[in-house]
Structure 1
C-alpha cells in the first residue's frame, strides 16, 4: 500500500529527530574524548617531568609506527 505524502512527511520528520539526537550524542562523546586526550597528555607530561623519564616513543619525522614495526620484524 502506498503512503500518503502526509505519512511520508511524518516519517521523515521522525527520522530527522532521531538523527539530531544521535548527532548530539556523538558530539558529546567527541567532546568527552577530546577532554580525555588533553587530560592524559597532561598526565604524561607531568609524569615525564616529575620522574625524569621518557614515556612517549621518539620516532624520526619520516617514520610511522607501522613502518617501525615492519622494520623490526625479520
Structure 2
C-alpha cells in the first residue's frame, strides 16, 4: 500500500509541475497580449479594450443575475 501511495505522490508531483508550467506560460501570454493591445491602441489611436463605464446590455445584465 505504501508503494502505491508513493507512486501516486510522484504522479501528482509531475501533474503539479506541468500545471505550474502551463500557468506560467498563460501568464506570459496575458502580459504579451496586453502589450500588443497597448501598442495597437497607441499606434492606431483606437480603443480596443471594453470601457468599464459602458452601459450593459439587458442580456448580459440578466446573465450576471443568474450567477
Q: Deviation string for 1:16-58 (max 9, x for gaps)?
A: 0000000000000000000000000000000000000000010
Could you tell me which residue of structure 2 aligns to residue 20 of structure 1? 13
Which portions of structure 1, spanning 4 or more consecutive aligned residues, are displaced by more than 6 angstroms?
none
User: Structure 2: any 5+ residue segments left out of the alignment?
Assistant: 61-67
Distance 1:30 1:24 in 2: 10
Do structure 1's residue 46 and structure 2's residue 55 form an aligned pair? Answer: no
Q: TM-score, normalised by structure 2?
A: 0.81
User: Structure 1: any 5+ residue segments left out of the alignment?
Assistant: 1-7
Q: TM-score, normalised by structure 1?
A: 0.74
CA radius of gyration, larger in: 1
Could you tell me which residue of structure 2 aligns to residue 58 of structure 1? 51
Aligned-residue CA RMSD (Å): 2.0
Higher RCO by CA contacts (8 Å cutoff, separation 6 or greater) = 2
